[in-house]
Chain A
Amino acid sequence: MFFSFAVRNLRRHWIRSALSIIGIIIGVVAIASLGIMASSINLLLANVITDVGDTLVITPHTAIGETFTGDPRTAVDAAIPAREVEEIRRAANPHRTIPVLQGADEVEFSRGEGGYAQIIGLAPEDIPVLLNIAKGQYLRQNQPGALVGTHLAREYGISPGSRITVGEESIRVAGVLTERGLAADINPDYAIVVSDTWYESHFGVGDGYSMVVVRIGDIAEIDRVKGVLENQFNRREEVVDIFDSRDMLRQYEEIYQQITVFLLGIGGLSLIVAAVNILNVMYISVTERIREIGVMRSIGARRREILRLFLYEALVLGLIGSIVGGIASAISGYLISLVAVEVFTAGTTFGEGFTVFNLSAVGYIVFGIAFGIGTSIAAGFYPAWKASQLTPIEAMRHK
């Protein structure tokens, strides 16, 4: 009966109730949508960044001084000498060491179509360790052939069996690689992979390798191997950069966390303002009904029953606002995510085939609803408490 009483009180002043509910709706939509957006961006990036698991990537120390890995201002073209590669192999034993050759040449895919593309040279037995084939087959020892990255294949309509020209040399396409996205080690989607022997015969034997990839089977081993290598090479000066793929993920995770907290924070602001409104409205409501409260107390309603009565009112406002807000957020969250994905992937192909909705999106909606209800109850608490503390006599004497 108290509950229906509470509802009736809300209906008595339906305008103020409606406006308070609107406030909650907006607040809930703000929080939930922003959460969904953060989650979409996360999903998108997770899609794009390939987790190469337990890999160390060793590159010649390029940047002098303090910049971050991948700083576009420091793109260089340097090499790790073969001698050092052998040292790495020994130090990393028993884990697999894969030296990588990287260069570029003019590639012609079909009549007149082509341009410069990245050429990656790997030992044929190493290729299956790093890459997956979508069509065709891997390169065979002593058989010239090329593996074409997925985006190049798609753009130029290449399939196994096609012939392409690299520089002046013609070579047969043995297979097409699966999409890999951004990875810490190599990015073959826009490249052509050939055997190291073919690479060296085509470009000549150079001063060394562009990078060395070490695949570590056991996570526990990573730090140990890293330590050994650091010790071996970088004792006196930074000769090589040893990049732990987990670092990239970790860094990215950190940024994502911060962005999410930030976004949720501002969303939360709206909800707080809505809660301040509820506090206000309930306070006014209590003040208006002081006499009535006095009567109820005098005929036997206990303090906590009065408290409960007013809390119910705040709860109903919060419930309705939050649930309607939750539904609205599903819609707005979806729209916002579409826009965000659009903005972040403008000019790239990463956004293709990306769906927005999943468990974490639903999670944010539920979170938004819960937060909305929670803040409403919290906001209603103080006025409700004040109401319950009124002494019956004074209350009844109130004008």
Chain B
Amino acid sequence: MPIIRFEDVSKIYRLPAGDVVALDHVSLTVEPGEFIAVMGPSGSGKSTLLNMMGCLDIPTSGRIYLSGQDISGLGDDALTRLRRDRIGFVFQSFNLIPLLSAVENVEFPIVLTTGRAESRRRAVEVLAAVGITESRFTHTPGELSGGQQQRVAIARALVNDPDLLLCDEPTGNLDSKTGTAIMDLLAGENREGKTIVMVTHDPNVAAYAHRTIRIVDGRLA
């Protein structure tokens, strides 16, 4: 069963200046274990595509299935829970919460449902797995380097063992060496079975993926 299935999905923003078609009748599937890169010019709709996959937005028309479940008509609460339990996000600008320490950032998604001790244990486990040394667990994002922050962000995305990992320009704010290290990490996760969909404009980064989806003007190219 595909992890993601888009069935004739369109997203139209109704603005006073005129309707903007972000996605235009897009149909696609993502199978478990795939590593997919989404590429396209600026404004092409790739971020919208990612947001839809990530239950952050719902289509204007068409259907989206997450592991067989129709998410097109779900309410905010249900979508939020899906995000928490089944999806992990990695953003270009890391987006860690500045006041929380590394380990607290990582445990955030699961502490919402699980007990304190259990969350902490799992968070520590994942942090170690992404290569953060123990001494840095209590550091706040401000005290970590860009690469370390992104690792923490990835750990946060992985902590609840999601079906799907969504990354929006994961190496955009990193230098090439660090970027490579991060991509290696992601590739490693994929080899272990994690499905990854990644938006990028960098062909070198896209090369890590199994296949590339191109999107132009809201349509698959």
Which A residues have a C-beta under 8 Å from some C-beta of B? 1, 5, 8-9, 12, 291-292, 295-303, 305, 392-393, 396
Contact = CB atoms under 8 A, between A and B. Distances in A.
Contact of A299 (B51, B99, B104, B156): B156
Interface stretch (B26-34, B38-46, B107-115, B126-134): B107-115
B99 A300 contact: no
Interface in B73-123: 76-77, 80-81, 83-85, 89, 91, 95-100, 104, 108-109, 111-112, 116
Given A5-B100, A301-B112, A303-B76, A295 B83 contact: no
Interface of B: 51, 54, 56-57, 76-77, 80-81, 83-85, 89, 91, 95-100, 104, 108-109, 111-112, 116, 156-157, 160
Contact of A292 (B84, B97, B112): B97
B83 A5 contact: no
Residue among A1, A291, A299 facing the most chain B CB atoms (10 A cut-off): A299
A393 B56 contact: yes
A306 to B, nearest CB: 10
B88 to A, nearest CB: 8
A296 B112 CA distance: 11
Given A295-B97, A300-B80, A303-B76, A1 B85 contact: no
Contact of B84 (A8, A9, A291, A299): A299
Contacts of B96: 295
Contacts, number: 56
A302 B75 CA distance: 11
B221 to A, nearest CB: 24
B80 A301 contact: yes
Given A5-B100, A297-B80, A302-B77, A396 B95 contact: yes
A133 to B, nearest CB: 72
A305 B57 contact: no
B108 A296 contact: yes
Given A298-B54, A298-B89, A299-B109, A9 B99 contact: yes
Given A1-B111, A9-B99, A296-B108, A303 B57 contact: no
Contacts of B157: 299
A303 B84 CA distance: 13
A396 B57 CA distance: 13
Given A297-B80, A300-B112, A8 B97 contact: no
A299 B83 contact: yes
8 nearest A-B residue pairs (beta carbon): A300-B84, A295-B95, A300-B83, A302-B80, A300-B109, A8-B99, A299-B109, A392-B56
A298 B56 contact: yes
Contacts of B84: 299-301
Contacts of B81: 300, 302
B104 A1 contact: yes
A303 B97 CA distance: 17
Given A1-B111, A392-B56, A393-B51, A298 B97 contact: no
B192 to A, nearest CB: 21
5 contacts: A1-B111, A295-B95, A296-B97, A299-B108, A299-B157
A12 B83 contact: no
B80 A303 contact: yes
Nearest to B54: A298
Contacts of B83: 298-300
A291 B84 CA distance: 18
Nearest to B48: A393
Nearest to A301: B112
B114 to A, nearest CB: 11
A305 B112 contact: yes
Nearest to B97: A292
A9 to B, nearest CB: 6
A359 to B, nearest CB: 42
